[in-house]
Amino acid sequence: MGRISQLVGAKNSKPFHWIQGKIHEVAEDFYAIKARRTYLPVAVTSLISWIAVFWAFYAFLRGFGINISFSKVVFGSTVALIANALPISGIGNWGTLEIGWAAGFLIVGLSKEKAIATGFGVHIVAFVICTIMAFFCWLTLNLRGGEK
């Protein structure tokens, strides 16, 4: 990575340092998995987590009245998740997920209006759920006297 950055003259740029830091974090995680010989449990847990995410998106869409196959939900939401992982962000992280969501679901055949509306709908529902969970976690933490 250092040689490439020297060739393009980006060694002192912020994006280069951010990317390099992320690569080091991922490498450390893989070393920890290798050291503990936990390949199978980590792979199974990861697979279960991703299936749960896709089923939640499928449930959201069905709740919005969109009848679409699970495989199309997997593809469309994968495009959204990849777009959301890009190191760009709108105000309050709004926009990136919705653009990826709209693009992914346009590809699988949803109308433009439904793709955009469900993108915002899923983001709002996820935000509300996270806010409620955060409130209960905050409440529990305060009732226990906080971390000391």
The reported pLDDT for the residue numbered 141 is 87
Q: Which helix (H) or strand (E) holds 124?
A: helix 112-143
> Mean pLDDT for the chain?
81
Handedness of CA 5, 8, 9, 13 (dihedral sign): negative
Separation in Å, CA 103 to CA 53, 68, 93, 132:
19, 16, 17, 29
Intra-chain end-to-end CA distance of the chain, in Å: 41
Least confident of 21-25, 36-40, 44-48: 36-40
What letter represents residue 65's amino acid? Answer: G
- DSSP conformation class of 86: S
Task: Render pLDDT for 15-37 as a digit per residue (tens, 0 to 9).
Answer: 777 787 888 888 787 777 666 67
Q: Which residue is it, tokens 């935000």?
A: 127
- What residue segments make up the domains of the chain, in order of their start? 1-37, 49-143
